[in-house]
Amino acid sequence: MQVTTGGGFDMAEIDPFMLASIVDLENPLPSNATGVEQLNSALAQIVQAPVAQAVAPAPDIASQVSGRTFRFEQNAVQILSAGLDFEAPERATFQMKVSGDPEVRVGSVGLDGIFRTSTAGRPWLARGGWQEDRRFLIEYNEGPGLAYYLIYLQFDGKHLTFELQSPASGQSWVLEGTSE
């Protein structure tokens, strides 16, 4: 079966060119034991689970902001609130309420370099860590071909600067939030 996009030609006229570009039945490629070995080695590596990295000690601000919910004024990306809870050394829990979502998005953020999964709301994976004493980065990924964001959380007491970056589009949004 052949599939082409286009028109205005007789398929029989282009068959020899298409077949020649795919395979030469009279002169097949020679065996390539080295190539097969490299392919098998690469396949064995990609199915291995990632190795957890050492987690740096959390800065003092982590205990001050843990469990707090920061609320935002009306904004272009419709994020109503967000928060982090640092309940385990290797992971944090991130929650984000988005207008129109039936549930709050909740899930773990791997602090050891390993992506963790969501537990409520839209499915996503996340990993992250402290970049500076008051700045936390979350790599937020909803899956191949879907949303992928970098979320920077800059804490200052009861205030949060929430920066959402879309590497795919180059867009960035900055929200200012406060907690009770």
Domain ranges for the chain: 60-179
What are 113-133's pLDDT values in tens digits?
999 999 999 999 999 999 988
CATH class of 60-179: mainly beta
Kindly write down the DSSP assignment for every residue of the chain, as one continuous string.
-------SS-HHHHHHHHHHHH--TTSPPPP-HHHHHHHHHHHHHHTSPPPPPPPPPPPHHHHHHTT--EEE-S-TT-EEEEEEEEEETTEEEEEEEETT-SS-EEEEEETTS--EEEEESS--EEEEEEEETTEEEEEEE--TTS-EEEEEEEEETTEEEEEEEETTTTEEEEEEEEE-
What are 42-83's pLDDT values in tens digits?
999 888 888 899 998 999 999 999 999 999 999 999 999 999
